[in-house]
Structure 1
Amino acid sequence: MSAPSRFDRGHTDDLMTFLSASPTPYHAVANAAERLEKAGFRQVAETDAWDGTSGGRYVLRGGAIIAWYVPEGAAAHTPFRIVGAHTDSPNLRVKPRPDTGAHGWRQVAVEIYGGPLMNSWLDRDLGLAGRLSLRDGSTRLVNVDRPLLRVPQLAIHMDRAVSTDGLKLDKQRHLQPVWGLGDTVRDGDLIAFLEDEAGLSRGEVTGWDLMTHSVEPPAYLGRDRELVAGPRMDNLLSVHAGTAALAAVAASGSDLTHIPVLAAFDHEETGSQSDTGADGPLLGSVLERSVFARGGSYEDRARAFAGTVCLSSDTGHAVHPNYAERHDPTHHPRAGGGPILKVNVNNRYATDGSGRAVFAAACEKADVPFQTFVSNNSMPCGTTIGPITAARHGISTVDIGVAILSMHSARELCGADDPYLLANALVAFLRP
């Protein structure tokens, strides 16, 4: 018999549902918004005037969502507590002229987004999803969540050297998926197919942001089901945990001393420099407008920002049993060991000693264990939205997350209890 978990797996079950329903950043923010709506939050348009009344609100812009809850009696200078995350993941994205092919194969032209483990996309059944822009100026989400495309690997008989020299992939030539048979490339064929899938008339789609995804659903793994394998954990695991934490805090928010915020950005995997990325103006604009809507001045804005703390929540690296030498010898975060605090003295992560104390206090309050991640000095360190948020807004920021294996693979792996532990730590942080 499998050993039972010490924790309720309901949160992880719900995470798996969220991952399956969110093949793109646009779907992720739509699903987060739906959950917040059920918790009493209401969408506000950036083009409308905002009022200073209490309650939960959120702004959607493309693949980004900013949500916040104003408690009763909040002053204009009340500081914020922010959970930051990102909605995008490395994948294969459809080019402006998608229809291509050769030698009797119909293919889709794709561009590499971010830094995927490219071999993980080979010989995998792929769906296609994203956002369609229509002739009337509106948009429509589409999700073909069934086997539609495949990037076929070359047989070993035609590349004997792969056994000794390793797999070598050319991003342009070797990653174009097949999706049918035919000798003639018909321009507009893929978009016409998606118009049919979305119930649209032919010629209605004039723009698109489309990407591939693995259609294999998330699953528990291991003898005792203590692991979870699934797509886009980097970083929808944090988006899901932040959404759940914000909804939970808002449900009992009468005595809040801070304004809890969820900020989930797009384009982290490509540098965050966009109108929906962490290096854009969206978060600062929303926070400032919240201050001003409550009758605040620039002085109130400065006071609020000075007292604000952000937890930048992103996945990190669990120690790999087959490559332990790649990790720092004194810092070995383990799957199942609770969330990780991410530290880099060269500011690739934003954590400092005072930030560590904030996170430690939240974990202690929530009775959640935590670990520390530091890169091996001989290895380049990745980065997150944390340093960007700190530098752009002058906000104290701490980098945290959940330790996983196979980061940037089409399918990643984490401890089954860690998402629940992260969410509980985030609740305690948002409600100090």
Structure 2
Amino acid sequence: MSTSAPYRFDRRHTDDLMTFLAAAPSPYHAVAVAAERLEKAGFRQVWETDVWDASASGKYVIRGGALIAWHVPEGAHPHTPFRILGAHTDSPNLRVKPRPDAGAHGWRQIAVEIYGGPLLNSWLDRDLGLAGRLTLRDGSHRLVNIDRPLLRVPQLAIHLDRTVTSEGLKLDKQRHMQPIWGLGEVHEGDLIHFLEEETGIGHGEVAGWDLMTHSIEPPAYLGRDRELLAGPRLDNLLSVHAATAALTAASATPDLPYIPVLAAFDHEENGSQADTGADGPLLGSVLERSVFARGGAYEDRARAFAATVCLSSDVGHAVHPNYAERHDPTHHPRPNGGPILKVNVNQRYATDGSGQAVFAAACERAGVPWQSFVSNNAMPCGTTIGPITAARHGIRTVDIGVACLSMHSARELCGADDPYLLANALTAFLHG
């Protein structure tokens, strides 16, 4: 289903998305880049340990790899409802273990743990960098990004596994996914000492780390007419980027009837059960404190939440030309067909009929087409932060996104115009 209103593509948005993806190899970097953009739009950071004021302005909170940002317009009441854009900052990958230095037979390796549900084969024979957050002895944090060929998970040569062509590739997560990064003897502390030198931190100052691998191949337009976008972490930094752009645009608009919010959570890929995840208290705490800072009480909070709507934006599945039978036969989302409305009556997605009407109205105001997605009845359906947000906070939630291929691969694929169309729809939603 789509609107009939005209729209025009603007590749500058997708160009900027590519810059965003390259600058955000970890959730911590994604939050930092989004915060920098919010600062340029007049937002200011507030801390959860401080007293919050009632000023009409843009504010944001950072906790680890999560960010909640909101803009209180002039004249907002304690019971003014919110319009929330929900997304997540994490992606499936290989993450460094507490004792990272490993190896065998003259090879130096890094011990990694599988995060989320990556397509393991997509990480083989790929030049990998290392990024994340270092925690120092004084409790402060330092971002690190080694964005050059540092690691590689080598695949076994076909000469040593003749069954791979007949029986398929079978990977053991523990034995086969440990990347190499050099030759020689293994010494405990080598990796962290290397990172201290790379970042200019004093030797022995690192007390903890949250590190992960990333493909160093930059995002790129693909195809004869460059109508496709290939890149890492489209799931779900595409939505974080679009939502950040929509929030900054809405914050410049006077007389908004709602308080626009960006909720970018971490740990969606492993169930959202974390203090920085959608199933944690962060979003509810921020919204409630915003109500109370403006002089509201529980009754105002209840009124505001009852009229609040959240668009949970995450990538979805485009119809795969080589596996069309895996999709619902009447729902085939296509790249550059506009954002998708995600529906599952068993509440793997939170969309219902009233939510569909909200989304359709936003797309109509924005002049962009939209599509519907449901899973094949014979295939398990994935899920998002949408049902969690709806159930935890009692907020009407609608699941949407952009159709892509190769979801959970080290490198994913979508239509090059869809990020721009999504951002326009999100902006129209925030304007009400």
- Displacement of 1:244: 0.4
Equivalent of 1:84, from 86, 96, 100?
86
For 2:384, the equivalent position in structure 1 comes to 384
The aligned counterpart of 1:112 is: 114
Amino acid at match of 1:257: P
Residue 251 of structure 1 and its aligned partner are, at CA, apart by 1.3
Confirm or deny that 1:243 pairs with 2:244: yes
Task: Please name the residue that 1:51 is paired with.
Answer: 53
- Distance in 2 (CA, whole Å) between partners of 1:136 and 1:393 is 36
Q: Distance in 1 between matches of 2:381 and 2:364?
A: 28
Q: 1:7-28 CA deviation, whole Å, 9 max, x = no partner?
A: 1100000000000000000000
1:428, 1:397 → 2: CA distance?
Answer: 16
Cα distance in 2 between the residues matched to 1:181 and 1:321: 43
Q: Which residue of 2 aligns with 1:137?
A: 139
Shift of 1:76: 0.3
The whole-number CA distance in structure 2 between the counterparts of 1:307 and 1:23 is: 36
Quote the sequence identity (%). 83
How many matched pairs?
426
Aligned to 1:228: 229
Residue 313 of structure 1 corresponds to which residue in structure 2? 313
Give SS of 1:112's match: strand
> 1:193, 1:292 → 2: CA distance?
47
Q: C-alpha distance in 2, partners of 1:339/1:201? A: 47
Work out the CA distance in 1 between the residues paired with 2:190 and 2:297: 55
For 1:30 and 1:126, locate their aligned partners in 2 and report how far apart those are by CA, in whole Å.
Answer: 22
Which residue of the partner structure matches residue 37 of structure 2? 35
Shift of 1:366: 0.2
Measured after TM superposition, the shift of residue 6 of structure 1 is 4.4
Over the aligned positions, Cα root-mean-square deviation in angstroms equals 0.7
Q: Distance in 2 between matches of 1:99 and 1:28?
A: 27
Structure 2 letter corresponding to 1:70: V
Deviation (angstroms), 1:291: 0.2
Between the aligned partners of 1:334 and 1:217, the Cα distance in structure 2 is 24
CA distance in structure 1 between the aligned counterparts of 2:65 and 2:142, rounded to whole angstroms: 13
For 1:64, which of 63, 66, 69 is the aligned residue?
A: 66
1:309-361 Cα distance to aligned partner (Å, 9 max, x none):
00000000000000000000000000110000000000000000000000000
TM (normalized to structure 2)? 0.98
Provide the residue aligned with 2:172 in structure 1. 170
Counterpart Cα distance in 2 of 1:351 and 1:197:
46
Post-superposition Cα deviations, 1:229-272, rounded to whole Å, max 9, x if no partner, equal: 000000000000000000011112x1100000000000000000
Show structure 1 runs of 5+ residues with no match.
none
Mapped pair 1:334 → 2:331: no
Give the residue type in structure 2 aligned to 1:200: I
SS of the residue corresponding to residue 384 of structure 1 reads coil
Q: Please report the TM-score for the alignment, with normalisation by the length of structure 1.
A: 0.98
**Counterpart-to-counterpart distance in 2, 1:98 and 1:276:** 24
- The residue aligned with 1:160 is 162
Q: Which residue pairs with 2:10 in the alignment?
A: 8
Q: 5+ unaligned residues in a row in structure 2: which ranges?
A: 1-6
Deviating 4+ runs (over 3 angstroms): none
